[in-house]
Amino acid sequence: MTEPRLAKPTEHGRYYTDPAGGPDLISVTNVLDTSVHKHALRPWAVRLTVEWVLEHRIEVARRAITDRAALVHELKAVSQAVSEAAADLGTRVHLACEQRLLRAPIPNDAQVRPYLRRFDMWLAEWGVDIDRDVVATEITVLHRRLGYAGTADLMIWLPTGPGARMELWLIDYKSSATRSARSVYAENSQQLAALRFAEAVLLPDDTDGGMPAIERTAVLNLRQRSHALVEMPGNQDAFRAFRGALVNAQWHHAAPSSYPALTPPVSASTLRKAA
């Protein structure tokens, strides 16, 4: 994921600064990261750690005796390092796709190149004319009344209606080095719905523009050797689910990190002894 200009990290994750001067707006991805349990995350982290141990078993056996504390610290960081590397690659892929649509120079990045090639193939397959069909790329959307903001990867016209009628799609890119190009997560629908039903888009001069009437939503999965456009139901049902997740995230972020402990009252026997 790219780093939008108005996005900022906080102790509770990403928030957006409102150029109109209102309160900060929680990001859509922050809402889902806070409220949606990632069932596959823990088994994935365990598998990565076990694989690392097996690949370094001689070193692990030695350090378990001579350098145990540092070894434990390093093992805890194994999955985090892989996760951060994947996130960094995803950011670079997003940037390359954006630069392609803006006809801007793209860094020569060997890791990104296969994903960008797949993006180019997808554009060609659908006969996309960038100047004619692309409405917006990496555009910030706002919902001040509910208190959230997010970044839409792509708004684009595609010939998917009856008789190849052009329809306006909201598309989110997902890159992965391991997952199938047809695999998606249920919360992707909530993400797309939140973006789709935002109240406004933020124009380049930081003023509000009208939110386009999105007709369909999808995830564009980009892989090194494959790609797939997977339609997702970013509808009102998904939006209701997102709003529930939003309330939950806002509550957690506003809740105190600690509470005072209560002490028992002075007992009657203690009072008598004191007297």
Q: What is the 3-state secondary structure (H, E, C) of 194-228?
A: HHHCCCEEECCCCCEEECCCCCEEEEEEECCCCEE
Taking only the tens place, the pLDDT of each residue in 100-117 is: 999 999 999 999 999 999
The amino acid occupying position 125 is: E
Q: What is the mean predicted confidence (pLDDT) over 221-232?
A: 97
pLDDT at 50: 87
Q: For residue 202, what are its two tokens?
A: 């933020």
pLDDT at 43: 76
Q: 202 Cβ partners below 8 Å, 6+ apart? A: 6, 19, 139, 140, 141, 142, 208, 209
Q: What is the mean predicted confidence (pLDDT) over 85-89?
A: 86
- Range from 26-30, 67-71, 88-92 that averages highest in pLDDT: 26-30
138 near 153, Cβ under 8 Å? Answer: yes
pLDDT at 4: 81
Taking only the tens place, the pLDDT of each residue in 235-244 is: 999 999 999 9
Question: Which has the minimum average pLDDT: 60-69, 169-178, 198-207?
Answer: 60-69
pLDDT band at 5 (very low <50, low <70, confident <90, very high): confident
pLDDT band at 275 (very low <50, low <70, confident <90, very high): low
Q: What is the mean predicted confidence (pLDDT) over 151-169?
A: 97
d(CA 230, CA 238): 16
15 near 7, Cβ under 8 Å? Answer: yes
pLDDT at 2: 59
- What number does CATH give the domain 7-36+111-255? 3.90.320
Mean pLDDT for all residues in the chain:
92
Pairing between β-strand 134-143 and β-strand 200-202 as defined by DSSP bridges: antiparallel
Percent of the chain exceeding pLDDT 70 equals: 95
d(CA 137, CA 208): 16
27, pLDDT greater than 80: yes
198, pLDDT greater than 90: yes
pLDDT at 272: 67
